[in-house]
Amino acid sequence: MFEGRTDNTVQQAPPGTQRARSPQPDGQVLASAEQIATLAQAAQKLERIARRFYQLALAVVAALCVGLFIYAGGAVVMVVFAAALVAVVLHGAARLICRVLPVRQWVAVVLFLAGFVGSVSLVVHVSGPELVTQLSHLYAALTHERDTLHAALDKNPVGHSVLNHIPRFFGGNQTSGPLGSEGAGGGMDFAGSMTNVLTSTFGSAGTLVVIIIAGVYFALSPHLYANGLLRLVPTRYRGSARELIRTTAHVLSAWVAGQMLDMTVVGVLTWVGLSLLGMPLAFPLGLVAGMANFIPYLGTFIGAVPALLIALSISPREALMVAGLYAFIQAFEGYVMSPFIQKRAVSMPPALTILSQTIFGAFLGMWGFAFASPITAVLLAVIDHLSTPLPEDEQV
């Protein structure tokens, strides 16, 4: 009895229920799937755009914070950065020693310092008086030529206007400027407002000693200071911070190694070339050219000025020959040495390098002008590490 009622109930289902359960046509199902896939692709594209915008905004905010910090205490940052470069040089030399001798890092640093001090002492003992005499002669000759050129230009109205835009250190009339005693921005000079204590107590030589001592301590135990910085970073960001520290150290090591090789080659070529031309003071002029080449591109012209001034005092023909020599060395350095070094070191666009020297020099004076290239190399490496590669279909 109950069984029959149950069967009848099941058999007599409402007609609307059967129509609701009937499957949709295949075309509608395919259209819905295509719409869902299109929406998913659009959502993924929006997510990529939002992520890229977030990374760009984060980079801009970080750059602004770094810029404000450098503007407020840029000289202190430059002193720390100079000490870091000294530490990079010592650390690289220590690594080479560790490959040969089974010693610890700090022992290798001490051995390198002992060998370096001993070599410098030997050079000073053997050729120190002659070198000092040549440098003093070079300084006297440059001072005389600078004063002569200043007197000749100052008589001309156009020359006088030009001298008003040249710092006094280089023979002009300007008492402040990007490369003078005061930088742009209200008195940002060689040591800056936050390092007046250092400069007033020790002077520039004392600042140099501080840089060397700090660099030595950084090189003796680099992991101690790196781990100390990591402790200040929140736990979830320590992995990225660790990679940034390693990237920065690698970029600085590569830049210093490449630049030291470039400086050595330019200095030796200048010395040999001036000696073959019969120029006086060839060795100190080569030393100046090599040291000036620490600043890429613009340093080459700065290093050529002393030789050209001395050559002009001899004869115009000698000046043309010296100018041709420096042009040849610049061409060799730009087309042969730089590509070779950039394959194994750091590659930076020339326009960006010159612009960075102008910007950092305007804000930080001589410090910023000298260290603009390694700072730019580090910033490029950090931006490249934080940002994603640009797809080919989105490139210009």
pLDDT digits (tens, 9 = 90+) for 263-273: 889 999 999 99
- pLDDT(244) > 80: yes
pLDDT (average), residues 295-319: 83
Instruction: Give pLDDT, residue 25.
Output: 54
Which contiguous run of DSSP H or E holds residue 139?
Answer: helix 105-154
The mean of the pLDDT values for the chain is 75
Cα separations in angstroms, 184 against 30, 173, 189: 67, 16, 8
In percent, how much of the chain has pLDDT > 90? 4
Would you call 295 helix, strand, or coil by DSSP?
coil
The CA R_g of the chain, rounded to the nearest whole Å, is: 32
3-class SS string, 42-78: HHHHHHHHHHHHHHHHHHHHHHHHHHHHHHHHHHHHH
Q: Which of 116-125, 240-249, 382-391 has the highest mean pLDDT?
A: 240-249
Q: Which position has the token pair 């930076």?
A: 348
Q: Which of 5-19, 41-55, 73-87, 235-249 has the highest mean pLDDT?
A: 235-249
Which residues are within 8 A (CB) of 365 and not within 5 positions of it... i.e. 6 or more apart? Answer: 178, 179, 180, 182, 183, 188, 189, 190, 192
pLDDT (average), residues 350-370: 79
Q: Which of 8-12, 110-114, 279-283 has the highest mean pLDDT?
A: 110-114
HSE (side-chain half, CA atoms, 13 Å) at 123: 8
Instruction: Give pLDDT, residue 167.
Output: 64
- pLDDT(126) > 60: yes
DSSP category for residue 155: T
Minimum mean pLDDT among 11-15, 40-44, 238-242, 377-381: which range? 11-15
Name the phi and psi angles at 183, rounded to 5: -90, 175
pLDDT digits (tens, 9 = 90+) for 104-118: 888 888 888 888 888
Minimum mean pLDDT among 147-151, 200-204, 286-290: which range? 200-204
Which residues are within 8 A (CB) of 290 and not within 5 positions of it... i.e. 6 or more apart? Answer: 263, 264, 266, 267, 268, 270, 303
pLDDT digits (tens, 9 = 90+) for 56-69: 787 777 777 766 76
Using N-to-C axis directions, what is the helix angle for 26-100 and 238-276, rounded to 10°? 50
What does the alpha-carbon distance between residue 284 and residue 306 come to, in Å, rounded to a whole number?
Answer: 10
pLDDT digits (tens, 9 = 90+) for 327-358: 998 888 877 777 777 666 666 777 787 888 88
What does the alpha-carbon distance between residue 343 and residue 127 come to, in Å, rounded to a whole number?
Answer: 37
The reported pTM is 0.64
